[in-house]
A and B are shown apart, each in its own frame.
Chain A
Amino acid sequence: MPRRQELTGRARAERRLALILCAPAVLVMAAVTAYPIVYALWLSLQRYDLRFPNRSAFVGLENYLTVVASSRWWQAVANTVIITVVSVTIELVLGMLVALVMHRTIFGRGAVRTNVLVPYGIITVVAAFSWRFAWTPVTGYLVRWLHLSTDPLTSHGTSLAIIILAEVWKTTPFMSLLLLAGLALVPEELMEAARVDGASAWQRFVRITLPLMKPAILVAVLFRVMDAFRVFDDIFVLTGGANQTQSVSILGYDQLFVGLNLGIGSAVSVLIFLIVALIGLVFIRGFGAAAPGAGTRR
């Protein structure tokens, strides 16, 4: 934090100019972000069904109580937590391996990095459709290769597994890119010194690489957890939320766009927002995660 000090006239003028220059951006942000958020909060406190405009009324926290008392909400939370924890764990391990490969590659570095990024470059909905076709009997090659007798997208467990697979395939490259940036921070001299002292490759990785990479790992995991918690497109395309595979985002969408219940749908959205905010808070306060760059200055 810069220390407070007397401002010269020029500094004051510059500060004023800065405010004026920022104002348009702030106004746009207020219009497209702050207003919808506040409006959603306001809607979540009302009984508001598009089909019954005459029955709208202020109901306080009733919508939240309805959501929290519903087994469908908790089923969706459970699904989302399972998808988040399993997919991010796999992504972290795989992403680290891929990052190490990218870091150590001597020739064809550009080609390797480009190839790794391909899944991340494909539009999620398109990828989800190809997963769906691949897992559907008659059209699907995966069903043929694995000699499956049933449609894996018709039961709860296998559907969740396929959703997680699609998520992992899609976002591991993102994870490995963030981790690669962290790997670049580990000084080569330190590794050399450890090697001279007789440390094994595993010891060097656990004792030197991981601690030095901690800020990068935390940021990568934080980004992915917040992202994974809002999983929507893969589920929307693969199962549409059938067989109890709804995530919280799918549940909110169904309330808003199928049920046309803006009150309850907004309450679901606000709850998702609160959970995501909580995840961010836990990571920053609890594990000391920091935005990239901010960590080095402390």
Chain B
Amino acid sequence: MRSGERGSAWRCVLLLVLAVAALAGPLSCGGGSAGPPTVSFYIFHEPSGAFERGAERCSRLSNGRYHIRISELPSTADGQRQQLVRRLAASDPSIDILGMDVVWTAEFAEAGWLRSVPAGLREAVSRGTLGPALRTATWRGTLQALPYNTNTQLLWYRRDLVPSPPATWAQMIDMGTRLEEQGRPGRVEIQGAQYEALTVWFNSLVASAGGRILDDAGRSALDHTATEAAEVMRLLARSPAADPSLSNQHEDDNRLAFETGRAAFELNYPFIYPSARTNAPELFRNLAWALYPSMVAGRPSHVTIGGINLGVSAFSPHPDVAFAAALCLRDADNQRFAAVHGGLPPTLSALYDDPDLRREYPFADTIREALATASVRPLTPAYTNVSLEIQSALAPPSGIQPQRILGDLRTSIGNALNSQGLVP
């Protein structure tokens, strides 16, 4: 009996020692061990392994100057932001390079968590990079991060139902309604759930109508274009062309709904293309693409740009090697691999002419054209709050009251910009 007790006491002590050792392990590794400095790169999990391959390649090419270690962030965008914010707010020195959604750049820069790109590197970063992607990485006139991947939505449609693609939103809703009335699939698949994509939809419509949500000084700049945008959202939501679960749909729900053949149109990112090829080969033969519909006939649309920027933490103990590593991570070879294998459109314009990429992306020219005139979501450190207010005001799209929306948004965005009031 007693020996048993002693045994379990020893086991406790052993566990305790192991726990302490496990805690101390990572701390001691960061210290003055020999060999090249480790640059830790925090980024979301990318299933094709393109990020790991890039990190290994750059470590090799650096000739012992640095070694890049990838640490994976949570799978959801909110989870990624929370982990980064928690660590950065605590001045955590264990992050060197952070993979940020484009809309966090201003927020992180304003909080003093990013080291702006050194003057000597700016030319190397901006050369050949798409303009709107660079704009997302710029805050207060300074380049704060390195554009890594980009992304944007196209209009996907079925050639067997729609001979020529609609140029405007009004035409598209009209075509969809008529198809539905004839008893043929005419739905328009778009993300209508109360989350970030609702802000993306609204931003694309406002920009396409010639307006913008915030001005250059970061003040609310909403005008009649916001009302027009809200009217289009409501019009679609209440038309026979709307998906019945519109108010709960995310990107992947749209993809699935389109693949089942109930829709004629889909506004979504290029990831739906390889998916349709595998899941719906019959439908895939008629899958065609066009630029995002415009708001005003004869004027181009300005679809919202997405993607990832690479930032270097203000608390990184070796920023010079971190910048060198980040520059290598986004070089043409790594971007090509990520585009071809991971479906992440590159930020380097010349890659859209690359034969490998064009084989995987027959729509490469359309994407480049869309990106050239793309719009950027509001650049403000309070972006998350602004976006949450927009989502809250526009959800569900069928319940939008266009006469009231402008006043509501002005008040709530004003509060959000001053970090006043409660976030929804």
Contacts and interface: CB of A to CB of B under 8 A. Distances in A.
A51 interface: yes
A67 B385 CA distance: 16
Contact of A51 (B107, B244, B247, B395): B107
Contacts of B420: 66
A258 B194 CA distance: 15
Nearest to A267: B422
B422 A70 contact: yes
A66 B194 CA distance: 24
B107, B111, B424: which has the most chain A beta carbons within 10 Å? B424
B82 A257 contact: yes
B424 A151 contact: no
Contacts of A49: 419
B82, B420, B422: which has the most chain A beta carbons within 10 Å? B422
Interface string B409-423: 000000000011111
Contacts of B384: 258-260
Given A50-B85, A51-B382, A52-B381, A261 B419 contact: yes
B245 interface: yes
A199 interface: no
Contacts of B322: none
Contact of B419 (A52, A67, A72, A257): A52
Judged by DSSP, the binding face of B is: loop
A157 to B, nearest CB: 15
A66, A150, A153, A242: which has the most chain B beta carbons within 10 Å? A242
Nearest to A241: B424
Nearest to B89: A50
Contacts of B369: none
B248 interface: yes
Nearest to B244: A150
B46 interface: no
A243 B111 CA distance: 31
A260 to B, nearest CB: 6
Contacts of A153: 248
A151 B381 contact: no
B424 A154 contact: no
Contacts of B110: 51-52
A260 B85 contact: yes
Contacts of B395: 242
Interface bin, chain B:
20 to 34
A50 B382 CA distance: 11
Contacts of A251: 422
B243 to A, nearest CB: 12
Given A51-B110, A51-B381, A72 B422 contact: yes
Contact of A242 (B78, B194, B385): B194
A261 B111 contact: no
Contact of A151 (B107, B194, B248): B248
A293 interface: no
B112 interface: yes
A255 interface: yes
Nearest to B88: A50
Interface string A128-151: 000000000100000000000011
Contacts of B247: 154
A110 B193 CA distance: 47
B191 to A, nearest CB: 14
Nearest to A268: B422
Interface in B52-86: 78, 82, 85
B262 to A, nearest CB: 14
Nearest to A252: B422
B388 interface: yes
Interface in A158-187: none
A51, A66, A260, A268: which has the most chain B beta carbons within 10 Å? A51
A261 B107 CA distance: 13
A261 B424 CA distance: 13
Nearest to B82: A257
Nearest to A153: B248
A258 B382 contact: no
Contacts of B194: 242-243
Contact of B78 (A70, A150, A258, A268): A258
A251 to B, nearest CB: 7
Nearest to B111: A51
Interface string B181-213: 000000000000110000000000000000000
Given A151-B245, A154-B247, A50 B422 contact: no
B58 to A, nearest CB: 31
Contacts of A254: 422-424
A286 interface: no
B86 to A, nearest CB: 8
Contacts of B85: 50, 260
Contacts of B388: 258-259
Interface string A100-123: 000000000000000000000000
A69 B384 CA distance: 22
A264 interface: yes
A53 interface: yes
Contacts of B107: 51
B112 A259 contact: no
Contacts of B111: 50-53
Interface in A243-267: 243, 251, 254-255, 257-261, 264
Nearest to B194: A242
A260 B388 CA distance: 13
B110, B111, B245, B381: which has the most chain A beta carbons within 10 Å? B111
Contact of B112 (A53, A55, A67): A53
Nearest to B382: A51
24 contacts: A50-B85, A51-B381, A53-B112, A55-B419, A66-B420, A66-B421, A66-B422, A70-B422, A73-B422, A153-B248, A242-B193, A242-B194, A242-B395, A243-B194, A258-B78, A258-B82, A258-B384, A258-B388, A258-B423, A259-B385, A260-B85, A260-B89, A261-B419, A268-B422
User: Which 8 A-B pairs have CB atoms at the shortest separation, nearest pair first?
Assistant: A259-B423, A49-B419, A51-B111, A154-B248, A70-B422, A72-B422, A51-B381, A50-B89
Given A53-B111, A53-B112, A260-B89, 9 more contacts: A50-B85, A50-B111, A51-B107, A51-B381, A66-B422, A72-B424, A242-B194, A243-B194, A254-B423
Interface of A: 49-53, 55, 66-67, 70, 72-73, 137, 150-151, 153-154, 242-243, 251, 254-255, 257-261, 264, 268
